[in-house]
Structure 1
Amino acid sequence: MFLKKISLCVMTLLFASVAANAQNNTSSNIGSLVEVHKFDDITTNIYRYPFASLEWTDPSGGLALSGTQAKRNVRFEIRKDELVTGGALELYYTPSPALIPVRSHLNVYFNGLLIKSLPILKEHLGNKTFAKIAIDPKALADSNQIEFEFIGHYSDICENPVDSSLWLNISAQSVLVLDKQQLHIANDLSSFPTPFFNVTTNTASTLPVIFSDEPDSNTLKAASIFASFGGVLTAWRGVDYPVLINQLPSNGHAVVFITNDNRPYFLKDYPKSTAPTVEMTDIPGTQSNKLLIISAPTSEKLIEAAKALALGNVLFNGPVTEILGYTEVEKRKPYDSPNWIDSSKKVYFGQLTTFDGQLSANGIEPAPINVQLNLPPDLYFVNGSRVDMNLIYKYTKPTETGMSQLRFILNNHLVRSYPLKPDSQQDKISENLPIMGAVNLFGTSKVDASFIRPTNSLTFDFDYSNIYTSKKDECTTQAPIPHRVEIDPASNIDFTGIYHFTQMPNLSLFWQSGYPFSIYADLQETAAVIENTKDTEQLSTLLNTLGRIGAQLGYASTNIEILTKIDDDSEDVLEDKDILVIGNIPELLKDNDNVAIVLSKTEQAISTSFNSDNPNRFDPDKKNLNTTIRTRNSNGLGAIVSFQSPLNSDRTVVAMLSDSPEGLA
């Protein structure tokens, strides 16, 4: 059931120092560039990737191996526009002091190929040990796996695989070193989104967006659609859109929006377009940087080009594609985001997987099986709300002694545990999970609604009780058999009957899922207002925001309304929209005494912040005070404000304000 959301005339303010944000923008997942080598006009960069930046490491950033968990692996990706010419694995590891030297060793595999067997010597026992392993670039692919196999022995007879003396720790100080060369790829749109967006490695993308002059509303709408589509492509990796006016970036790829009458200096001689066109070309004077040119006869036609690219209903091939016929797709329905589950019907676990084998695990101690469940953010749980889950799972038979069990964990909270039966290999459980809402009237609810979030992790942890016995005078050594566990893809969870309702404003929902704009995945009931289109930081903030919302929804904002000028007709446009404001808030949206008072105080606080670019805003006689506070806030302040739309009580305004470009960043 779809209920209108209630917007209250309340404002939430978030001030944040940009210095911390600027530092956090440098992801630990990005390898640090340490050297640049140039031979015969070929540039090779040497990158160092800490183990903590690779996938599947422990929370410490390293790997812990044991007798029961003797094999562990990590993963890393290589961009399609990069060529690895060499490298090495700088491995730091510490073996248990109780191991038998030489008989104990560590095997290292790259993509299933054994490349090194490291014997554990007497001097290594209990000490941090270093080994450098060369990498054959021929063994690498786009997606790569490094596997470590621990062969540990502590006794000549009667070894117990669960003995606590069997361990080897691979340190987080270990580093993967890669010599990489940037490839000059062909100008072929069939390879899109490569090289403009990174969709293989776990690093964020940066793609400058170029306008020839301050963009009009149509050009900015086309750029907004493209930016949100980039968010869909990069997903959790993140994307940043610096905006440039009439200039090329100093390095890297870029996208430019042009019309026949409005183009930057470096494309003055570009042929005039007769239809919306997308072209990939080289940036002059660079070896491998590419320029994506989105052109059209008029700015209105630029929107068609952006939509065709985002929706994929035109075949893009070769260096240039003209869009001779574009067909509008049907508008999205409420809450049908591709990244959200459909709460109006049962959802099968097979629909929640993102890679093959996600619902299975094997080993003496099988790894937990995890699936992600993204819910519409305004599901409203009350006492008496219930979620049905039909769970079908298979497992190898446990021993009759001990307590083997399956634990069902929701967002790190234990919900249920089920025994694994020694006489069975399959079980089916139908759970009716009562939800505890804001007030628990009867004390019988089992799942607190606060455990449930827009993005949820469902964990199924099969825990086998392995019992090993030995006698003093005689013993029998038995090799443990790895277990195999599976969650049947036909298992399902059912949220039907849960209401959509929340009180507004709620900036946490905006941050988590772009709400309320994201109720419609194509943002058809959203209007973005940005009046100062000369300010590149404001333009970048708009594009980055829509890129993030696109990543959260899995769909481009093809039907968003962009307003760059507020006039007499704006009220009619904005009345039935949720509104995203970048920069100054128009007077039209201050048409409420409470809103005007709070906003004026907010704007005053921002305008009088101690920004280092404006050291003389205050009384010069108060130099000490000015200096002290200016140092604390030298990078500017930003605020995100949300309030009820003065044009419609059922609509919400979210505004991003700042005292400086740094604050917007």
Structure 2
Amino acid sequence: MLSKSYKLVTALLLATYVTTGAYAADKVKKEESKEAITVENVTPVRIESIPSTVTNYPLSSLDWVDPSGGLGLSGVTPKRSVHFSIKKDELITDSALLLYYTPSPSLIPVRSQLNVYLNGLLVKTLPIEKVDLGNKVEKEIPLDPRAIGDDNIIEFEFIGHYTDICENPVDSTLWLNIGAASNLRLNKQKLHIANDLANFPVPFFNITTSDKTVLPIVFATVPDESTIKAASIVSSYGGVLTKWRGIDYPVFINSLPDDGNAIVFITNDNRPYFLQEYPKTDVPAIEMADIPSTLTGKMLIVSAPDSEGLVTAAKALAMGNVLFNGPLSKILEYKEIEKRKPYDAPNWIDTSKKVTFGSLATYDEQLSSQGFKPIPINLELNLPPDLYFVNGSRIDMNLLYKYSKPSPLGMSQLRFLVNDHLLRSYPLKPENESDVITENMPLLGTLNLFTKSKVETSFLKPMNKLTFDFNYSMLYTSKVNECTTQLPIPNRVEIDPASNIDFSGLYHFTLMPNLELFWKSGYPFSIYADLQETAAVITTPADTSDLCALFNTLGRIGAQLGFSSTNIEIVTDISEKTEDRLALKDILVIGQVPDFLKTDDNATLVLNKTRQAISTSFNNQMPNSFSSEKRDVTQKMTAQSSEGLGAIISFRSPLNKDKTVVAILSDSPSGMEIVNENLILNASSSEARGSITLFKEDRSRSFDVGESYYVGDLPWYQRVYYVMLDNPWMLMILSLFSSVVFCIICYKVLKRIQKARLLKKSQRKAQ
């Protein structure tokens, strides 16, 4: 019995051992298999060391500095600030502020000092020594990189003393000047960010710092019309994002840039060498991926089954990227419900109704200011460039403002300036704390219909700055041998957001050609913000410099309008059918003007490798005094020079008298590169005016020659009214003529009445 029990226990133990061993072996096998799968499928983490770079920012390049590039501190304005930003894909490892400043020689040493703050934290107190008085002082202040964020403010506080008693804060000897040569040194290290479209537009477009964006566009081969349109939509959207910062689009064909980010356009049958193994797609898609040859570079891959699908992907990127998330987003459906209406660009005000100042403000507290001398309140006012102003045109402004009560002594006032020109001044009454001003302001005209000459206005332009400058009188007095210490109270002023300005009732009518309107507002293409009545003609799509010119131009226009060119038409095939496609379009030509657009009247400039020819008029000296009366050709010249000349010309379209052609020309790729550099917003001081503008390096020169014409809609009775308004002698002649006609009519009527009365009288006598 015991033997049987022993055998049973032994059997159970053996079974347990075998089962446990099998389970353990199976578990080990599964773990090994799992480990093998993990090692095989997980993408290796990039651990390369990313080097840092040192960048010096002059004080003059930072925000909120004086026009001189420096900062002036005084007893009235003892605090001033500068602002700088850091890109979201950058890390600051070290930083310092190299400060050059000059204190007044009348200050008391040591008691006078300069405090430096970073984002509200005191960084350094610089006592003003005796040897510093009246001399240029150099100090280097280390800044803690841990205190630097995306948006940063460096504040300077001046504490100045010039006497032991009875100090007057408005005394002219209380000053300290921070020089424009001061600079901010930042050690930056690029971050390798995750491939997540939720971060878009980072890192492709710079939307934080003041630096321009350089974003290469990559094609597999010479692009067709649909592919160019897709790239045009994305490039104009880049301008919308970067705004005033400027953006440059170098073009690469079947190659990648050596460094930085890029946008790559591919289809299932057309892809560059480095994406040959990229999976084919059945719907348009957007993906963010690493550029293998760089440490931090990213590429935005715009893919579709065909080139028409690229247009859909580009529109989705420009209009619906808020839905994008993760490394890849597929566009399952995109519908454009309605096109833009004329003159409804987001960056332009609505001229059909009153516009409140609150809608013009771009950040909180923009409509308020405080201080002993409050900083002027500035608002940007962007108008459609073809608004017709003449002498006698008026606009209504309803201004509501609040202010802390000024001293009854002296004179305090609010000055209203437009583009730094004084328009009105209003007293700040000591007995009030607010006021309401209703103005019907006259405007200086930009056109004169009778003489057809341009009259520049110093008041309103396509881009305007409204300034409300509150000035308080400050009086501090004391009797002899008596001194009362007064602590001045900072003043506070506010513009009510409900204040408004009304441009309704003005007409859209302007004299063309006028390259200044194109340069500053993209006119006439910008009449429709989506460029639905614009056709871009690319005569040499294989030339990367020409493609770059197109994309830079559209990026510039996108920044000016605030909307992407989703409905622009691209034309590369120059044939007989092309004329029909362009008959109802304003035309943007890149490269060379096609023969069907050339006429004897517009052949004012020829640029090619063999010769350069130009026709000029007496409108070639002062752009501010260009006159249509002097547009006739007076000189013609033909030359053969070294390459490196670019130009922009404008003339009436021979296909439609109501449409305009703007052509960007060059004698070579190097000449087009010069134009491209000048097309970038705020990249140079060059300007375009008249009908021809030539670019050589960083210089430009404008000419006004050839046929002039009007664009827009101005009713006939308004034309008569404006002619009379500008020419009183014509009004006098018309009045005399009207009086004579009226007298003749009255005479005829009275004679008829007299004749009828005499007839009745004679009939009575006959009876």
Q: Does 1:661 align with 2:677?
A: no
For 1:206 and 1:496, how far apart are their aligned partners in 2?
A: 40
CA contact (8 A) 2:48 2:295 kept: no
For 2:425 and 2:87, how far apart are their aligned partners in 1?
A: 42
For 2:321 and 2:471, how far apart are their aligned partners in 1?
A: 47
Return 5+ residue gaps in structure 2 as ranges. 1-46, 450-454, 614-638, 674-767
1:542 corresponds to which residue? 550
| Structure 2 CA distance for partners of 1:122 and 1:417, relative to 1, 3 Å | same
| Structure 2 CA distance for partners of 1:215 and 1:337, relative to 1, 3 Å | same
- The letter of the residue matching 1:160 is N
Deviation at 1:561, TM superposition (A): 0.3
Deviation at 1:221, TM superposition (A): 0.2
Deviation at 1:127, TM superposition (A): 1.4
CA contact (8 A) 2:444 2:459 kept: no
- The letter of the residue matching 1:603 is V
Structure of greater relative contact order (alpha carbons < 8 Å, 6+ residues apart): 1
**Matched position secondary structure for 1:42:** coil
1:172 corresponds to which residue? 180
- The letter of the residue matching 2:324 is F
Q: Does 1:641 align with 2:643?
A: no
1:391 corresponds to which residue? 399
2:302 corresponds to which residue? 294
For 1:216 and 1:436, how far apart are their aligned partners in 2?
A: 48
| Structure 2 CA distance for partners of 1:84 and 1:561, relative to 1, 3 Å | same
Q: Does 1:155 align with 2:163?
A: yes
Deviations 1:13-37 (CA, angstroms, capped at 9, x unpaired)? xxxxxxxxxxxxxxxxxxxxxxxxx
Write out aligned runs for 1:456-467 (5 A). 456-467=464-475
Deviations 1:612-642 (CA, angstroms, capped at 9, x unpaired)? xxxxxxxxxxxxxxxxx99xx7561112111
2:260 corresponds to which residue? 252
Q: Does 1:104 align with 2:109?
A: no
Deviations 1:154-197 (CA, angstroms, capped at 9, x unpaired)? 11110000111111111112111111100000001111111001
CA contact (8 A) 2:398 2:436 kept: yes
Higher alpha-carbon deviation: 118-127 or 342-351: 118-127
2:479 corresponds to which residue? 471
Deviation at 1:402, TM superposition (A): 0.4
**Matched position secondary structure for 1:380:** coil
For 2:456 and 2:428, how far apart are their aligned partners in 1?
A: 26
- The letter of the residue matching 1:55 is D
| Structure 2 CA distance for partners of 1:659 and 1:605, relative to 1, 3 Å | closer
**Matched position secondary structure for 2:439:** strand
For 2:202 and 2:319, how far apart are their aligned partners in 1?
A: 17
For 1:329 and 1:219, how far apart are their aligned partners in 2?
A: 23
For 1:501 and 1:89, how far apart are their aligned partners in 2?
A: 52
For 1:509 and 1:48, how far apart are their aligned partners in 2?
A: 36
Q: Does 1:608 align with 2:639?
A: no
CA contact (8 A) 1:94 1:169 kept: yes
Deviation at 1:589, TM superposition (A): 1.3
Higher helix share: 2
For 2:368 and 2:435, how far apart are their aligned partners in 1?
A: 15
1:593 corresponds to which residue? 600
2:371 corresponds to which residue? 363
Deviation at 1:40, TM superposition (A): 8.0
CA contact (8 A) 1:404 1:420 kept: yes
| Structure 2 CA distance for partners of 1:604 and 1:178, relative to 1, 3 Å | closer
Deviation at 1:133, TM superposition (A): 1.0
Higher gyration radius (CA): 2
CA contact (8 A) 2:91 2:189 kept: yes
| Structure 2 CA distance for partners of 1:232 and 1:165, relative to 1, 3 Å | same
For 1:663 and 1:604, how far apart are their aligned partners in 2?
A: 10
Deviations 1:112-131 (CA, angstroms, capped at 9, x unpaired)? 00111111111111111122
CA contact (8 A) 1:571 1:647 kept: yes
Deviation at 1:110, TM superposition (A): 0.1
Write out aligned runs for 1:219-258 (5 A). 219-258=227-266
Write out aligned runs for 1:63-142 (5 A). 63-142=71-150
Deviation at 1:531, TM superposition (A): 2.2
For 1:358 and 1:393, how far apart are their aligned partners in 2?
A: 13
Matched positions, count: 597
For 1:118 and 1:645, how far apart are their aligned partners in 2?
A: 65
What TM-score results when the alignment is normalised by the length of structure 1?
A: 0.88
Deviation at 1:451, TM superposition (A): 2.1
For 1:40 and 1:439, how far apart are their aligned partners in 2?
A: 63
CA contact (8 A) 2:608 2:666 kept: no
Deviations 1:523-576 (CA, angstroms, capped at 9, x unpaired)? 000000002111000000000000000000000000000001122321221000
For 1:448 and 1:483, how far apart are their aligned partners in 2?
A: 38
Which residue, 118, 128, 143 being the options, matches 2:151? 143
CA contact (8 A) 1:609 1:637 kept: no
Q: Does 1:307 align with 2:310?
A: no
- The letter of the residue matching 2:224 is D
1:505 corresponds to which residue? 513
2:572 corresponds to which residue? 564
| Structure 2 CA distance for partners of 1:486 and 1:314, relative to 1, 3 Å | closer
Higher alpha-carbon deviation: 96-105 or 69-78: 96-105
- The letter of the residue matching 1:204 is K
2:634 corresponds to which residue? none
**Matched position secondary structure for 1:593:** coil
Deviation at 1:382, TM superposition (A): 2.4
Deviation at 1:384, TM superposition (A): 3.1
**Matched position secondary structure for 2:313:** helix
CA contact (8 A) 1:528 1:561 kept: yes
Deviation at 1:585, TM superposition (A): 1.3
**Matched position secondary structure for 1:569:** helix
For 2:265 and 2:448, how far apart are their aligned partners in 1?
A: 56
CA contact (8 A) 1:278 1:292 kept: yes
| Structure 2 CA distance for partners of 1:511 and 1:543, relative to 1, 3 Å | same
Deviations 1:579-611 (CA, angstroms, capped at 9, x unpaired)? 000011112212x3323xx25xx226774259x
For 1:224 and 1:439, how far apart are their aligned partners in 2?
A: 34
CA contact (8 A) 1:606 1:637 kept: no
- The letter of the residue matching 1:166 is L
Write out aligned runs for 1:522-537 (5 A). 522-537=530-545
Deviation at 1:439, TM superposition (A): 8.3
Higher alpha-carbon deviation: 53-62 or 225-234: 53-62
CA contact (8 A) 1:606 1:638 kept: no
For 1:606 and 1:396, how far apart are their aligned partners in 2?
A: 67
Percent identical among aligned pairs is 65
For 1:155 and 1:434, how far apart are their aligned partners in 2?
A: 50
- The letter of the residue matching 1:163 is D
Deviation at 1:383, TM superposition (A): 3.3
CA contact (8 A) 1:373 1:457 kept: yes
1:434 corresponds to which residue? 442
- The letter of the residue matching 1:424 is N
| Structure 2 CA distance for partners of 1:641 and 1:434, relative to 1, 3 Å | same
For 1:70 and 1:260, how far apart are their aligned partners in 2?
A: 64
CA contact (8 A) 2:607 2:666 kept: no
For 1:391 and 1:663, how far apart are their aligned partners in 2?
A: 50
Deviation at 1:491, TM superposition (A): 0.3
Which residue, 405, 416, 419 being the options, matches 2:413? 405
| Structure 2 CA distance for partners of 1:657 and 1:607, relative to 1, 3 Å | farther
What TM-score results when the alignment is normalised by the length of structure 2?
A: 0.76
CA contact (8 A) 1:314 1:323 kept: no
Deviation at 1:448, TM superposition (A): 8.5
For 1:451 and 1:424, how far apart are their aligned partners in 2?
A: 30
- The letter of the residue matching 2:416 is F
Write out aligned runs for 1:319-338 (5 A). 319-338=327-346
1:620 corresponds to which residue? none
2:658 corresponds to which residue? 650
The Cα RMSD (Å) is 1.8
| Structure 2 CA distance for partners of 1:40 and 1:314, relative to 1, 3 Å | closer
1:280 corresponds to which residue? 288
For 1:197 and 1:500, how far apart are their aligned partners in 2?
A: 34
CA contact (8 A) 2:419 2:458 kept: no
For 1:438 and 1:203, how far apart are their aligned partners in 2?
A: 35
Deviation at 1:103, TM superposition (A): 1.0
**Matched position secondary structure for 1:72:** strand
**Matched position secondary structure for 2:651:** strand
For 1:246 and 1:314, how far apart are their aligned partners in 2?
A: 30
1:271 corresponds to which residue? 279
